Chains A and B, each alone.
Chain A
Amino acid sequence: MISFSPTEEQSLIVDTLKRYAKDRLREIFREADEDGEIPADVLRKGWELGLVGSSIPEEYAGFGELSAVTGALALEELGWGDLATALALSAPATFALAILVAGTEEQKQTWLPQFSEETLPPLTAALLEPQMLFNPRKLSTTATRKGDSYVLSGVKAYVPLASNAEHVLVYANESDTTQAFIVPTSAAGVTVGEREKLMGVRALELSRITLENVEVPATAKLGGEAGIDFGIIHARSQVALAALAVGVARGAYEYALDYARNRQTFGEAIGQRQSIAFMLAEMLVEIDGTRMMTWEAAWKLDNGEPAIRAALLAKHQADKMVLMVTDRAVQILGGHGYIREFPVELWLRNARGFATFDGLALV
């Protein structure tokens, strides 16, 4: 069957997240951006919604199953509320879901139960590196086998919630493939560096981590000896980011739509002119089209169909779409769009990040 309506269970999750996004995230997102900090109670509340736990099966102390489609639906709502908080809540998920998808049985037993606990577990992941021509399949951070251990060296960038993290899933280059390693931040040679200073998502703590000949046991390698197929993890990240982008864009579109309906110039609403009205119509078309592509790629992941190309297409479309939509939202608000009392400039700054945010979320 080809069908476009979420299950009842998914609708309930979406409704819960809509409420959280509206009542909590939309209340704090501006101040959080200005302060560079997400209020702890908002983060805690978000974690209590149990999104990661509900992706983990009972055998690993979870209370659900992994569904990329459900993940995409959930992330759209969080992205609508506030991208910085959405990415903060995603940080543990980037650890958990990678283990769930690619980990050995032992790794799953060891790590997954932590994600059903009440507090945000101090676990995160590190894929990005501080390079202009970053390529996740040709990482500069290296992992070299040495007896029963691996030795890791390199610099990782944009590591979410790194300062409190106890373990980081570090992606590194092992013999020209991308592999991942569970690295304790207490290990010798690990330095959690300064916080990144970014254009957007300023409420989110993202830091650099330097690894200097960090030695971890061979069992720390995700997926064991055989390692991982990074393509699938990357596709899951692309779908997650595309879903977040749809959420950000929808928020900006709705705000601009409302503004265009009410803002009067020359005796009528600006939305009564085609130059504005057509922009809004095109924004809706692109948002909806990208959402369908995201759902399709997610559905392919869930059903074991080839999903690499679909995920790439969805992400490519999402990157372009979210920038176009948020830019137009600023444009439609005119001078107001540029002022920090209005939200749209924040959304435009956040939107530009999607082309860069590889690995910051997973479904």
Chain B
Amino acid sequence: MAIEFKTPGIIATQSQMAQMVAEQVMRPISRSFDEHEHDIPWDYINALWPIMRQNPLFGANDTKKSQASDGDDAAGDKPKRAPIGNMLMVHLIEALSWGDAGIYLTTPGGALGGAAVAAAGTPEQKDRFLARFTESEEPVWGAMAMTEPQAGSDTSAIRTTAVRDGDEWVLNGEKIYCTGGRLALQESKGLVVVWATVDPTAGRAGMKAFVVEAGTPGMTITKLEHKMGIRASDTAAILFDNCRIPLSNVLGSAEVQTASNAANAPKGFKGAMKTFDATRPAVAASALGIARATLELLREKLLEAGIELRDDVPYHEMSAIERDFLDLEAQHRAAWLLTQRAAWQMDMGQPNTVEASECKVKAGEAATIITQKAVEMLGPLGYSREWLFEKWMRDAKINDIFEGTGQINRLIIARRILGFSSRELK
């Protein structure tokens, strides 16, 4: 090992392909799908499905078939190389989000639901639930349903219940803000991973994740949200009314964790929480795709206006615009390198909870600041819907909110570095 920043050939090639898709398939429809919320970008989806079946974005290191490794040629009998699945994932998400972050979220595949199954599922569950994401002829989506009207960052406030009845679990409750819920449950034979409590008195220890497949009676989509940005992606509310699923659809152990048996139950809530270690860098990467799009076009527009961005003058000789741009570029770079570090750690099998939150904090903030500043710097042209800057600003903001707000991620970092429990540091 060494400290290196050379993008491996396989990642460079695939990123270029993703960038081509972003330019030629996503950008031409970007504005239109922003203006027509809840339309589904089928052309993009159908173009991507054959590729995503072969190379799922999420859980890439968990399915043998798609195990990516550093090297340009097929693995064959050659010695094992370092896995790069997560590094590849953040690069592809970054490139697709450069095209359009809302449309990127409609990319067919397991998404967060698939990632949770891959991280916390048994081999039997992986076979049963994940096969569709590589074998189906039609595009399929997975989704994650965690948030409830009264339970956002505080997942222990979740009220959706799962009650055992013979060979089944019976789910009751209301989920909101489920990204891609409609695609997973109405538009395909997908699945949603639902968080519910098996013991409302047990707090977080009673919380389990359940896989509910599309078409299961008792599950209905009741609403699609109208949002500030990422409008091409649906955000669904789902009602569970005596929704029955097989007993074997609980991810990890069905036992309520107590202090005495916690050590024997590594999966379940904690197991699925581990998916955040991979999905936070993924969200960071999406944020940074928007940020790069913004910086690139901003640079182009400034150059057209005759404003140079010099790197051979001291700070005190730079114009205010040069200073602003330098600062935005630096924030972007720091965030992107932190994101790559967190992905690399995942690939190396190193613990990365702190670093995953670090990149999410930095990327969420950087993308927000960069896109907001660009609108300001470009004046009446930045604010106009003729260009995409204002859309990028609206799209970027979600990245500081979903998959853990900037504040929740600060809390996660702080607890770890200070060594305080969630009770000690609220």
Contacts and interface: CB of A to CB of B under 8 A. Distances in A.
Interface string B308-343: 000111111100000000110110011101101100
Most buried by B among A261, A269, A284: A284
A2 B4 contact: yes
B3 interface: yes
Contacts of B313: 135, 137
A3 B334 contact: no
Contacts of B333: 293, 296, 310, 313, 317
Given A288-B358, A296-B337, A312-B311, A277 B414 contact: yes
Contacts of B424: 268-269, 272
A277 B419 CA distance: 11
Given A289-B337, A290-B334, A292-B334, A281 B327 contact: no
B82 interface: yes
Contact of B4 (A3, A134, A288, A317): A3
Q: How large is the interface on B (under 10, 10 to 19, 20 to 34, 35 or more residues)?
A: 35 or more
Contacts of B315: 316, 355
Interface string A301-315: 001000011101100
Given A4-B341, A299-B3, A313-B329, A135 B414 contact: no
A299 B420 contact: no
B425 A2 contact: no
A285 B362 contact: yes
Interface string A124-165: 000000000111110000000000000000000000000000
A289 B334 contact: yes
Given A277-B414, A278-B410, A289 B326 contact: no
B218 interface: no
Q: Which of B3, B329, B417 has the most CB of A within 10 A?
A: B3
Contacts of A265: none
A4 B418 contact: no
A304 B418 CA distance: 41
Interface centre among B70, B327, B334, B420 (most CB of A within 10 A): B334
B6 interface: yes
B2 A277 contact: no
B326 to A, nearest CB: 6
A135 B426 CA distance: 49
A273 B70 CA distance: 44
Contact of B2 (A6, A278, A280, A313): A6
Contacts of A133: 314, 316-317
Given A134-B314, A261-B418, A2 B8 contact: yes
A299 B2 CA distance: 10
A4 B414 contact: no
B333 to A, nearest CB: 6
B334 A280 contact: no
A257 interface: yes
A285 B357 CA distance: 9
B413 A69 contact: no
A285 B420 contact: no
A69 B3 contact: yes
Contacts of B341: 4, 288, 292
Residue among A3, A231, A261, A313 facing the most chain B CB atoms (10 A cut-off): A3
Contacts of B361: 281-282, 285
B389 interface: no
B411 interface: yes
Given A281-B417, A288-B358, A313-B333, A135 B5 contact: no
B335 A2 contact: no
Given A10-B3, A135-B314, A290-B334, 17 more contacts: A6-B1, A10-B2, A133-B314, A134-B314, A137-B312, A268-B424, A269-B424, A271-B414, A271-B420, A274-B411, A278-B407, A278-B414, A281-B413, A288-B341, A309-B311, A313-B329, A355-B315
The 7 nearest A-B residue pairs measured at CB = A289-B334, A292-B337, A277-B414, A281-B413, A5-B1, A281-B410, A281-B414
Interface of A: 1-7, 10, 69, 133-137, 231, 257, 260-261, 268-269, 271-274, 277-278, 280-282, 284-286, 288-290, 292-293, 295-296, 299-300, 303, 308-310, 312-313, 316-317, 355
27 contacts: A1-B8, A2-B6, A2-B7, A3-B1, A3-B2, A3-B344, A4-B3, A69-B2, A134-B314, A135-B317, A261-B418, A268-B424, A274-B410, A274-B425, A277-B414, A277-B420, A278-B414, A282-B410, A288-B338, A289-B335, A292-B337, A293-B330, A293-B337, A300-B5, A309-B311, A312-B326, A313-B326
